[in-house]
Structure 1
């Protein structure tokens, strides 16, 4: 029988391994020569907007990126200034602002996405297809558990 102490230790070891892999892969991806039009953090914002393919509130964008609200606000300002994002008033709430990809933002996201996707495929080639499927299943299970525990937002 596994003790509670072993469970906690194993959970921490698994978390450390996941974070180490993430850190090393992110560092490797960030050093690729593809990041001319946007850096990796900016790309995360562009990608999050592209996945939804509709204008989003900043709080919704924030749920898809690893940035604090103030850092995301500053980044959105820069991306708007550079012509990669556009702001618009929320038609359902005149006090709220939505952001969306501009045509240039869509182009940059597509080009970076293709190159970044190739880099990811190359980095994960060490895993068999069954292992990739299992990795996806396990991480999705963690995401779904956190979403189920999250308080409802209005």
Structure 2
């Protein structure tokens, strides 16, 4: 029987390599229109907020980019009219990123196409029971990180 460390490493490698393979396929998809997959991720993250707005710092916690890279990405999205940046009313040093109506429309348009690709690449590879288990395991793993010091 492999050690707990070996099992954890093998599971991580499998998860990581699956994610890399899928991200390569998603990135290569011709569905992103005038934005990139990373820019879409920002729009998608903002749609998950009821107010469609997040402090740049909080957005950074949800996106896998450095703070300077995220700032530049948000500047580009602002120039395209998909987000607005405003001073944080509770902290004048902070910035709030706000999804515009055009940004919401674009996110929904691309999101429908992206969901179809997710269904094709992930849903066709796993059964409904496996998808449910994968979701539960990934959520459990993500939430456990808050308790590990």
Tell me the TM-score normalised to structure 1 length.
0.89
The answer for the alignment partner of 2:112 in structure 1 is: 114
Counterpart of 2:10? 13
After superposition, the C-alpha distances for 1:66-123 in whole angstroms (9 at most, x for unaligned) are 1111110111111111111101222222332201111111111111111001100111
C-alpha separation in 1, matches of 2:50 and 2:69: 22
Matches of 2:66 and 2:13, distance apart in 1 = 22
SS in 1 for 2:63: coil
SS at 2:78 equivalent: helix
Counterpart-to-counterpart distance in 1, 2:80 and 2:126: 38
How many residue pairs get aligned? The number is 147
Aligned to 2:142: 143
Q: Which residue number corresponds to residue 48 of structure 2?
A: 51
Contact 1:89 1:96 (C-alpha < 8 Å) held by counterparts: yes
Query: Aligned Cα RMSD in Å?
Result: 1.4
Between the aligned partners of 1:100 and 1:146, the Cα distance in structure 2 is 28
Aligned to 1:78: 76
Deviations 1:9-36 (A, max 9, x none): 1111111111110011111111111011
Which consecutive segments of 4 or more residues in structure 1 shift more than 6 A? none
Tell me the distance in 2 between the aligned counterparts of 1:13 and 1:95: 43
Gaps of 5+ in 1: none
SS for the counterpart of 2:48 is helix
SS of residue paired to 1:74 = helix
Tell me if structure 2 keeps the 8 A contact 1:58–1:99: yes
In structure 2, what is the Cα distance between the partners aligned to 1:91 and 1:61? 16
Q: Aligned partners of 1:53 and 1:39: how far apart in 2? A: 24
Residue 130 (str. 1) matches residue 129 (str. 2): yes
Of stretches 16-25 and 139-148 in structure 1, the one that deviates more from structure 2 is: 139-148
